[in-house]
A and B are shown apart, each in its own frame.
Chain A
Amino acid sequence: MWYLLAVMVPLLVMTADGLLRGHQADHQAGLWFEALDLSSVALYPSGTPQRHPETLWPGMAIRLSPGLPQPSLRHQKPMGRVRVCSGFIVGDVLGRWQP
């Protein structure tokens, strides 16, 4: 009996917690996210490109750098006008480049 109780109590506690509280845990964060019109979640510290991806340079690195990450290539699908500036193509070609 005690054995079964010991096995079942953690499972029952988890189930009760999930039913009572679990699905609303991030409700408060959602309200503030909307009220402040934010674009990104505070997973990463402010000032990092992970926190503010929209501030990443919207260019495509044309220099070869094997083995190094190229966030602009992997994560950006910028749309805008084409500008060339010291080795970077800035902006997009109105949807013609879609990696």
Chain B
Amino acid sequence: MKVGLGPQAMWGWAVRDLGRRSHFTVLLFLVLMGLTLLMSLWALLGRSVSNATMKLMQQAPAVVVRRVSPMGWMPLPIDQAMHSIHGVAGALNPRTRIWGVVASAQGPVTVVGADADRFEPFLSAYPLPLPGQALVGPGMVRSQQVQQVILHGATSLVLTVVAGLPAAGSMATHDVVVVHSSDARALLGLAPHQASDLVLDVFHPSEITPLGLELARVFPWPVNIATRTQAMDFALSQVTRSTGIGLVVTVPAAMAFVLLVMALGAASRRQGWEIGLLKAMGWTGGDLIRLKLYQALIVILPALSFGFAAAYGMLYWPGVTWIAELFFGWSGLAPAFHLSVNGVFGVFLPVALMISVPFFSTILWAAWQGVRCDPGQLIQGGP
């Protein structure tokens, strides 16, 4: 006699059967969710940080010209540099920058001399710093009561903090202090006619490399020319190297998954008597396979869903700091990352396949083995 359970009854049976082994079911759910979380995080981390880095660096100057000597970097005479660059075909918008690294109570910070023209879009919300004033990045502001910042460079300056830069821009300005150009020069030891470097833009990215070679000839002193392409390559390699350590986590996770699959196979074989019993009661092979399939689905679908959601939240929640703390060497207040969501579901799909294919294979193979056996033999195997 064939029993033939309907889908709803089969779902109910599967749930009750899982409920009999609730501890094992919950443990299996947690392990699958943890694996999904780890593998998704690893797959998304480097990709998301690299994407954000590339997106921001697209707006960096195309070419940076730094004057160097055998002793290292040297200040750049502004007039001489602008005169030399004048007439170089393809060098658009040449401008000098005043910036450098100085010491502060929070550690090294990047000081930037504000350029009124480029700063214009923010002037309504943020005042351009006057001499003695500073705009500080989110990493410099540990509390709203910060009113002064002391910077130590070629000279020491006590600057009044007029505003804090927004936390949402932390990936650009975390430990940046924006000051008046005269204060920046004083801190960096630059004379009024000197700048840190010269930067320029190009019409098309393909012009960057030939222009760099051309620029090497026009200056009267040795220069180091760094292009945006090189900087992006460097940044990408650094991000890959830093986040690649995440791969270490996936190795034990993969081993745990293999052990889990083996344990599932062994558990299914031990429960062969149940299949024998159901077969003796009239369940068909199709019913038994459906039962195992439903049980697997009941556990793995929420595990994948919650695992993905946990990875998504950990990575894309606005202002996450654990990435910088773990992978990018921050010991103090780490920058809050605001990462864009790009191609997330393209990553989730392979991860879901990597986890679900071996899982289903094991469950269904064990069920198939049971279906093929004689019910009497299975029952005699006993619990």
Q: List the interface of chain A (C-beta within 8 A of B).
A: 3, 6-8, 10-11, 13-14, 17-18, 21-26, 28-48, 50-55, 57-58, 74-81, 83, 85, 90-92, 94-95
Please state if B224 and A54 are interface contacts (CB–CB under 8 Å).
Answer: yes
Instruction: Tell me which residues across on chain A come within 8 A of B108, comparing CB atoms.
Output: 45-47
In the assembled complex, the Cα of A54 lies from the Cα of B137 at a distance in Å of 22
Please state if A46 and B101 are interface contacts (CB–CB under 8 Å).
Answer: yes
Known contacts A31-B169, A44-B330; 20 further A-B pairs (Cβ under 8 A): A6-B302, A10-B305, A14-B312, A17-B316, A25-B316, A33-B172, A36-B178, A37-B118, A37-B199, A39-B199, A40-B231, A43-B235, A43-B242, A43-B328, A45-B328, A47-B107, A53-B231, A74-B237, A80-B68, A91-B68
Please state if B216 and A54 are interface contacts (CB–CB under 8 Å).
Answer: no
Please state if A36 and B176 are interface contacts (CB–CB under 8 Å).
Answer: yes
B180 at interface, CB cutoff 8 A = no
**How many B residues, CB 8 Å from partner?**
85
Please state if B225 and A78 are interface contacts (CB–CB under 8 Å).
Answer: yes
Instruction: Tell me which residues across on chain A come within 8 A of B112, comparing CB atoms.
Output: 36-38
Partner of A41, one of B56, B224, B242, B302: B56
Q: Lowest 8 CB-CB distances: which A-B pairs, in order? A: A22-B341, A47-B108, A10-B309, A28-B168, A85-B70, A32-B169, A29-B171, A33-B172
In the assembled complex, the Cα of A77 lies from the Cα of B119 at a distance in Å of 31
Instruction: Tell me which residues across on chain A come within 8 A of B239, comparing CB atoms.
Output: 43
Instruction: Tell me which residues across on chain B come within 8 A of A78, comparing CB atoms.
Output: 224-226
Most B C-beta atoms less than 10 A away, residue of A21, A24, A32, A75: A32
Query: Known contacts A18-B341, A50-B238; is A40 also within 8 Å of B60 by CB?
Result: yes
Please state if A26 and B309 are interface contacts (CB–CB under 8 Å).
Answer: no
Within the complex, the shortest CB–CB distance from B26 to chain A, in Å, comes to: 14
Which A residue sits closest to B138, measured CB to CB? A42
Which A residue sits closest to B49, measured CB to CB? A43
In the assembled complex, the Cα of A24 lies from the Cα of B57 at a distance in Å of 16
Instruction: Tell me which residues across on chain A come within 8 A of B335, comparing CB atoms.
Output: 42-43
B306 at interface, CB cutoff 8 A = yes
Instruction: Tell me which residues across on chain A come within 8 A of B308, comparing CB atoms.
Output: 10-11, 14
Please state if A45 and B237 are interface contacts (CB–CB under 8 Å).
Answer: no
Please state if A42 and B302 are interface contacts (CB–CB under 8 Å).
Answer: no
